[in-house]
Amino acid sequence: MTLSTHVYVLGQADVHEVFHTCRRLLGCEPHHAFTDGPWMGQEDPDHWCLWNQSGQELPAWLRVQYRSSGVPLRTPEQTIAHNEGCEEADRQQACWLDVDFDAGYEYRDEQGGCGELHARLVAQLGRHLDSKGIAWSWKNEFSGEVHDGPDQYERLADLCHRDVANQEWFRNIVWPGGPGCSATAPAVGPDRVNELLAKRDGGRLTPPEAGELRDLLDRETDLGSEVGRQPDDRAAVVDHEAER
């Protein structure tokens, strides 16, 4: 059994940029293979998908569905026509891209299980899209609800298997600032970054932590902050843009 969490990219976006951003969040390295081509089981030759190949010991399987012709994956009109008479689980969302993170229920790391993993991934991708002014929403597979409002970060707690709202990792990574505050990520303190850098240098960095480290270092670069690390620390985290 797996948990599948969809992120719907609502505005025009570069599918390859979004896909490789997601790969970085998963801790992918250049040897992690992926495929780009017509999506399985689709009669429409314009319905394509970028996906990581399975069995590579990554924390989650990644798929990004899109139109190869550069138009939205699903228009509102197409979605309305499809959803008539559909069961709730089969209903579609109008979007430019459909990003799917899929992780086994057995997944575990120091912050929890597959739900906690998905909360982190969705929040990190969401902030990336926010920084580009691209609207997005996400779907909770457990409830079938789609969240696209001001509480879309807060509601990621619904994916988690315990009360996480006051846990440091959740407030720092998923829901920065908490009640009454903007979901925009705050400046990152040195402790977490240096902890992850030390684990990386010691060869103990897990794939999710590698994705978190890249996200934090990218955030620092955007904010122009320094936390006592060497200038080449960011470069030492594998640059996956070469995968393109």
pLDDT at 73: 95
| pLDDT tens, position by position, 185-198 | 444 456 777 888 88
Q: Other CB atoms closer than 10 Å to residue 131's CB: what's the count?
A: 13
Report d(CA 82, CA 103) in Å as an integer: 27
Q: What is the pLDDT of residue 104?
A: 94
Instruction: Return the pLDDT at 110.
Output: 83
Residue 178: per-residue pLDDT: 53
Amino acid type, 79: T
At residue 196, the pLDDT reads: 80
Contact 129, 221 (CB under 8 A): no
| pLDDT, mean over the chain | 81
Which DSSP category does 28 fall into? Answer: -
Q: Is the dihedral of CA 165, 167, 171, 173 positive or negative?
A: negative
Does residue 65 contact residue 53 with C-beta atoms inside 8 Å? no
DSSP code of residue 38: E
- Report residue 94 as tokens: 């109008």
**Res 20: pLDDT:** 95
Mean pLDDT by 10 residues, the chain (244 residues): 96 97 93 93 88 94 97 90 72 93 93 92 94 96 91 91 69 64 45 79 76 69 44 38 39
Considering the entire predicted model, what is its pTM?
0.74
Longest dimension (CA), the chain: 58
So what's the pLDDT on residue 163? 66
| Cα–Cα distance measured from residue 169 to residue 20, given in angstroms and rounded to the nearest whole number | 24
Which letter, b or e, does each residue of 67-83 get, where b requires 16 or more Cβ atoms within 10 Å of its Cβ? beeeebbbeeeebeeee
Instruction: From 83, 91, 35, 27, select the one nearest 63 (Cα to Cα).
Output: 35
pLDDT score at 51: 97
How far is residue 149's CA from residue 139's CA, in Å, rounded to a whole number?
12
CA-CA-CA-CA torsion sign (172, 107, 5, 52)? positive
Residues 6+ apart with CB under 8 A from 160: 112, 115, 116, 119, 170
